Amino acid sequence: MRDLISRSRLSGTFVLHAGYAILLALLAFGAYEVLRLVSTNSAVRITAYEAYLDQEEVLATLRRSVWSGSNSARDFYLSRDAERLSRFESQIRDIRADTLEALARLRELDPHRTAQLNVEARVTGYVQGLSLLTPGGAEPGQRLRDLLPLRMGALSALEDFTRLAQQDVRTVLDQVARQRSRTARNLLLVLSVILVIGALVAWRTLRYANRWEQDRFRHHIETAEAKAELERLSANLLDVQEEERRRLSRELHDEVGQTLTALRMEISHSAAAVHEPEPRVRLDRARQLADRCVNMVRNISVMLRPALLDDLGLAAALQWQVEELARRSGIQASFSFNDSGEELSDRVKTCIYRIAQEALNNCEKYAQAAHVTVKLVREAGNLTLTVEDDGVGFNLNGHAMPVRGTGILGIRERVSQLNGSLTLDTGMGQGTRLTVAIPLDPAVVRPEPAGVTAR
């Protein structure tokens, strides 16, 4: 089943990745087509316009030469003196030079059309006709009339060349328009495909996201249920553990302790009845061993669950804990309270007692403290336990609990089962202050006068 789910997720992920890749590829293709169309059309149009302008410039030069020659010839025949002849010949030389240069440029720009329209022969024939004009001979009007067909032929060739050049430009523009139309259709097709694939990818994405959200929500519910079940199991285990400790403590105190006490009394009676030195020494050793066993059983019983907690209340049990810490370690310890805790529920008393026991053990093992203060305060519907030392402290490293196993996690677990709060204030070389606040049922809370202390 897990393999099937894994393959299904892998397939869905592959489809999404493939769809997004196709979308990106189509978008890139569309952008490339647009850029190619713009750049190509711009280049084609610029090339066509530049060619047309170059040709038009050459053609304008040739037209100017034709009309200048015609005007010079007319002016020459209107005034045929020697000075005018010299000026006319100079003008004809300039016109011939400009014409030959322009024709060479035109052949370079479009040799095929220049030859096809016979532009060079017509224009050159007209210029040569101008150079053949002489002061003598036929009547001036006849000479000009003979030159007229040559001029008209040259101008006609130039006009035909201009018309064909304009037609080339229009042809290029038509090709550009057709190319633009084809590209627009291609882009429209690409956009349609993008729209379809985008819709499919969006549908698949939404479906995948919805399924993922459902899986995440179901996993969240399962995790919450598992966490609640673990918390219930932990609470039950703690209750079972405390009940087992209570039972073992009573069994040790009542059964084993009484048996060892009876054994000690029997040994004492036997020792009093024996007068030989060696048996009496042996009985004294047996009595000492029995005393040690009694003390050991008593200590184990107290460690499992002190009778003070059930008989005299929470404050007495904490007072005993503090005194034992001072006796064992030499640490100056003090305890203050404003409520004995006799009316508290067994769960609350056990929780506070175990937290204090764990905190004091940590102070003894790790804190290297000289003074420890324990306070038990009951007010405003809360029972607050504070354990503070002046030891070395520790670094939380950005976490709620220290990395080293000091039992703080167990304290937090006990506090959370009673909907309490845990505050840990510490730092390297700053000591440690642990504060636990347990909410109490208002119907159970019995106000007590503040200021009662015990040390």
Using DSSP, state whether 209 is helix, strand or coil: helix
Taking the C-alpha atoms of residue 44 and residue 62, their distance in angstroms, rounded to an integer, is 27
Q: Can you give the three-state secondary structure of 101-156, one letter per residue?
A: HHHHHHHHHCHHHHHHCCHHHHHHHHHHHHHCCCCCCCCHHHHHHHHHHHHHHHHH
Confidence of residue 454 (pLDDT cuts 50, 70, 90): very low
| pLDDT at res. 6 | 52
CB 449 within 8 A of CB 338: yes
Position 412 pLDDT exceeds 80: yes
Taking the C-alpha atoms of residue 93 and residue 108, their distance in angstroms, rounded to an integer, is 23
Range from 202-216, 234-248, 369-383 carrying the lowest mean pLDDT: 234-248
Using DSSP, state whether 185 is helix, strand or coil: helix
**Model confidence pLDDT, tens digit, residues 147-175:** 778 888 888 888 888 888 888 888 888 88
Q: Which residues contact 134 (CB under 8 A, 6 or more apart)?
A: none
Confidence of residue 242 (pLDDT cuts 50, 70, 90): low
CB 158 within 8 A of CB 124: no
Average pLDDT over residues 40-69: 80
| pLDDT at res. 169 | 82
Length of the chain equals 455
Average pLDDT over residues 92-99: 84
Range from 82-86, 94-98, 209-213 carrying the lowest mean pLDDT: 82-86
**Would you state the structure tokens that stand for residue 128, as one six-digit string?**
């040569």
| pLDDT at res. 404 | 45
CB 55 within 8 A of CB 63: no
Position 306 pLDDT exceeds 60: yes
Confidence of residue 341 (pLDDT cuts 50, 70, 90): low
Position 129 pLDDT exceeds 70: yes
| pLDDT at res. 4 | 45
Range from 96-100, 237-241, 260-264 carrying the lowest mean pLDDT: 237-241
Task: Return the exposure string of 230-256: e unless at least 16 CB atoms fall within 10 Å of the residue's CB, then b.
Answer: eeeeebeebeeebeebbeebbebbeeb
Position 223 pLDDT exceeds 80: yes
DSSP state letter for 330: -
| pLDDT at res. 403 | 41
Q: Looking at per-residue confidence, does 451 or 42 come out higher?
A: 42
Quick check: pTM over 0.85?
Answer: no
Range from 41-55, 209-223, 367-381, 397-411 carrying the lowest mean pLDDT: 397-411
| pLDDT at res. 302 | 63
Domains of the chain in sequence order = 2-207 (1.20.120.1730), 308-454 (3.30.565.10)
| pLDDT at res. 232 | 74
Share of the chain above pLDDT 90, in %: 2
Taking the C-alpha atoms of residue 48 and residue 308, their distance in angstroms, rounded to an integer, is 110
Confidence of residue 235 (pLDDT cuts 50, 70, 90): low
| pLDDT at res. 308 | 63
| pLDDT at res. 193 | 81
Position 264 pLDDT exceeds 80: no
Average pLDDT over residues 425-452: 66
Q: Looking at per-residue confidence, does 295 or 358 come out higher?
A: 358
**Would you state the structure tokens that stand for residue 273, as one six-digit string?**
């009845």
CA distances from 351 to 347, 386, 418 (A): 6, 14, 9
Average pLDDT over residues 232-236: 71
Position 96 pLDDT exceeds 80: yes
| pLDDT at res. 364 | 82
